[in-house]
Chains A and B, each alone.
Chain A
């Protein structure tokens, strides 16, 4: 039993950590967030030049052949810096969907570009009525002579505003909540009939809602077998959940470090407020929550790339549930112990707190994953 990273993994993590420390000060992040792009093109380029955008891809694609643990090490550091770049959306999730579902020519079209960072992918699987259920799909794709015509709406596509390819789900048969009949399409965002409403998000990133209005695509936009995408979506959403959990752990680490530092330096009633027992215990609870979250993130990383099955699904649902709860506890406790300062835009803590709450609204919140876990519960 050994929970330490191996030498290569440690080097990877150190590389990302150095890069984030050097390039991603809090002030810079605020400035990146306010640009139209919503992140740093330069930082993205550096990730690419260091080969970091290729980490989860195979060696033929110039990649590292990295698995869950490599992605975890990297995402945790991006979390510590509150980095805004679409690593999760493009490299982990979008790239993963194309890799698993795409045929050779589709992989050739997209994956080398995604792995090198030259192309950015986004993922549009949610819809206004779907809540967090990715099998809840109303968007229709009708087959015609030239390929397919898509109609519908995709909700809260993070990174969709700047993507070169958007992977969307659409129903080729079945009813709104059927697992069967869901297909995946790789769309170029400038296709006629695609409308994007772009907005900033509460945690400083950018996303969009996408309306598909008689969008005609060629047959080779279809990724994988028609009507059989539900399993691919579940598998890749699972990988994305594991990566998001790792990011969350990085965010929580920083939130806790900032809070602890504040408890030591802020004085009231003539002593550092960290001398008050009620705050000490709350800080200890924050640490315990972080450790629970860290353990689940490790477990999630360990199954991220393993074979699909109920056990993998349970672990990922359990991890996202713990991350959601721990994140909210740390966010709210940290604000409370900082007092008013913890609520100001100018101080970094609030941005960590917002990211933790936002993570709970991505890929399913703690309630959603509790239900999911319960539905997979083993009788003994």
Chain B
């Protein structure tokens, strides 16, 4: 039993810290730490800095511009970058479609798409969910019919995160209706500028525009945009989902959010004392901190097993459930910490360049909205109910 980092890992952590201290733009970190909106430009600016350092594509082989980090190194990066308030990379290009293209795509696709992901030239979004296909993803209906050198695509995708910024979308489409539902799905890469594609915003309960509906009407997609084989898309989709699931526990983000909560509770007053000294509130914080400590160790146990050549399985599902519950609890406490000031909905104070007087605490404005927004954590990436089904099937054999 050894829970310590090696000398090499500690040196890597120092290197990461030095890099973040020097290169992470202060305005971007301030937005992340204060739960404020990031613009497309913010993401791209940070991506450029990471690319220059060679640290953007941490899942890719070196020949395509990736960096060969061990699972522990990736973990260190995740922890430290969250601690410093670095934005999470938008995963759809670099961490989702790229691994699929590298594993299942042809050489031409690799040459064409991978450099454009690194450079930020292409912004990818994910075309998986449909109005009738959420938890039951394999029942998707968006149809692609082969006509000569093209597929003609018709249908609708939904919950497309940041689709308004994207110029490319990877889609699961139905190419065969005669077989079992999982066996008639293909994986298509589609240029969002193709005629027949319409993007419609979905405004969420916190007033944000983060997700979209994407409509396809007789969209012509060249056959060379098919990844792998026709009707084998479900295999690629599942491969991608394992990438999606790791990291969904959000341990690093929970740690950052907990530290933010403690600072907030030190500033807010209750009965003439800082809230963090209030017996019941401090116990609520203590409880979530203890749960987070346990989940962080569970996370390290998975990482250590992957480092030793193991494959993460249903453990990731359990950790996704716990991790999202913990993060939601922290968001709940932050909202409670500001008491009556959870009610004012001050969009102007959510902008970083707001230079007026703050109604209450400088960090208060986004907290209630953030709490509501993060209800998504237990829904997306496979709802927590679906994760539990996976655990009961694969681990418990029920």
A interface with B by C-beta (< 8 Å): 126, 128-129, 131-133, 136, 155-156, 158, 176-177, 197, 199-203, 207, 209, 267-270, 273, 276, 278-279, 328, 332, 335-336, 339-340, 342-346, 350-351, 353-354, 357-358, 361-362, 365, 367, 370-371
In this assembly, does B13 line the interface, its C-beta being within 8 Å of a C-beta of chain A? no
Contacts of A279 in B (CB 8 A): 385
B369 touches A343 (CB 8 A): no
In this assembly, does B256 line the interface, its C-beta being within 8 Å of a C-beta of chain A? no
Which residues of chain B (193-243) have a CB below 8 Å from chain A? 202-207, 211
Task: Tell me which of B24-32, B33-41, B149-157, B267-275 binds A.
Answer: B267-275
Contact string against A for B residues 322-346, beta-carbon threshold 8 Å, 1 for contact and 0 otherwise: 0000000000100110011111111
CA A299 to CA B44, docked complex, whole Å: 57
Contacts of A345 in B (CB 8 A): 203-205, 207
Nearest-CB residue, chain B, relative to A282 = B385
- The secondary-structure label for the interface of chain B is mixed
CA A207 to CA B281, docked complex, whole Å: 27
B375 touches A362 (CB 8 A): no
Contacts of B368 in A (CB 8 A): 202, 357
The listed residue (A128, A201, A335, A371) touching B345 by CB distance below 8 A is A201
In this assembly, does B103 line the interface, its C-beta being within 8 Å of a C-beta of chain A? no
Nearest-CB residue, chain B, relative to A267 = B132
Nearest-CB residue, chain A, relative to B376 = A343
B340 touches A155 (CB 8 A): yes
Nearest-CB residue, chain B, relative to A201 = B343
Nearest-CB residue, chain B, relative to A132 = B339
CA A210 to CA B134, docked complex, whole Å: 46
A199 touches B379 (CB 8 A): no
A361 touches B342 (CB 8 A): yes
Contacts of B384 in A (CB 8 A): 336
Contacts of A344 in B (CB 8 A): 202-205
Contacts of B111 in A (CB 8 A): none
Q: A133-B271, A339-B134 are in contact. Are A156 and B345 (CB under 8 A)?
A: no
The listed residue (A197, A268, A278) touching B359 by CB distance below 8 A is A197
Contacts of A267 in B (CB 8 A): 132
Which residues of chain B (360-383) have a CB below 8 Å from chain A? 360, 368-369, 371-372, 375-376, 378-380, 383
B344 touches A156 (CB 8 A): yes
The listed residue (A158, A197, A371) touching B343 by CB distance below 8 A is A158
Number of interface residues of B (CB under 8 A): 50
Contact string against A for B residues 76-96, beta-carbon threshold 8 Å, 1 for contact and 0 otherwise: 000000000000000000000
The listed residue (B139, B346, B371, B379) touching A339 by CB distance below 8 A is B379
B360 touches A128 (CB 8 A): yes
Nearest-CB residue, chain B, relative to A268 = B136
Contacts of A129 in B (CB 8 A): 269, 272
Nearest-CB residue, chain B, relative to A353 = B205
A343 touches B204 (CB 8 A): yes
CA A158 to CA B342, docked complex, whole Å: 13
Contacts of A126 in B (CB 8 A): 340
Nearest-CB residue, chain B, relative to A157 = B340
B336 touches A362 (CB 8 A): no
Q: Nearest-CB distance from A141 to chain B (Å)?
A: 21
Nearest-CB residue, chain B, relative to A365 = B336
Q: Counting chain A CB atoms within 10 Å of each CB, which of B205, B280, B371 scores highest?
A: B205
Q: Counting chain B CB atoms within 10 Å of each CB, which of A155, A276, A328, A351 scores highest?
A: A155
CA A343 to CA B135, docked complex, whole Å: 16
In this assembly, does B159 line the interface, its C-beta being within 8 Å of a C-beta of chain A? yes
Q: Counting chain A CB atoms within 10 Å of each CB, which of B134, B135, B345, B378 scores highest?
A: B345
Nearest-CB residue, chain B, relative to A370 = B280
Contacts of B203 in A (CB 8 A): 344-346
CA A240 to CA B292, docked complex, whole Å: 38
B383 touches A351 (CB 8 A): no
Contacts of A269 in B (CB 8 A): 135-136, 139
A278 touches B205 (CB 8 A): no
B343 touches A361 (CB 8 A): yes
The listed residue (B158, B284, B360, B372) touching A340 by CB distance below 8 A is B158
Contacts of A357 in B (CB 8 A): 335, 342, 368, 371-372
B205 touches A268 (CB 8 A): no
Contacts of B272 in A (CB 8 A): 129, 136, 176-177
A343 touches B343 (CB 8 A): no
Contact string against A for B residues 42-70, beta-carbon threshold 8 Å, 1 for contact and 0 otherwise: 00000000000000000000000000000
CA A207 to CA B158, docked complex, whole Å: 35
Nearest-CB residue, chain A, relative to B204 = A343
Chosen A-B contacts, 22 in total, with CB atoms closer than 8 Å, are A126-B340, A131-B269, A177-B271, A202-B206, A202-B344, A268-B136, A269-B136, A269-B139, A270-B139, A335-B379, A336-B375, A340-B158, A344-B203, A344-B204, A346-B202, A346-B203, A357-B342, A357-B368, A358-B343, A362-B343, A367-B284, A371-B280
A200 touches B345 (CB 8 A): yes
Nearest-CB residue, chain A, relative to B159 = A340
Nearest-CB residue, chain A, relative to B272 = A177
CA A158 to CA B343, docked complex, whole Å: 9
B340 touches A362 (CB 8 A): yes
Contacts of A270 in B (CB 8 A): 136, 139
CA A188 to CA B280, docked complex, whole Å: 39
A361 touches B375 (CB 8 A): no
Q: Counting chain A CB atoms within 10 Å of each CB, which of B136, B332, B343, B346 scores highest?
A: B343
B271 touches A354 (CB 8 A): no
B385 touches A278 (CB 8 A): yes
Contacts of A202 in B (CB 8 A): 206, 342-345, 368-369, 372
The listed residue (B139, B339, B345, B385) touching A199 by CB distance below 8 A is B345
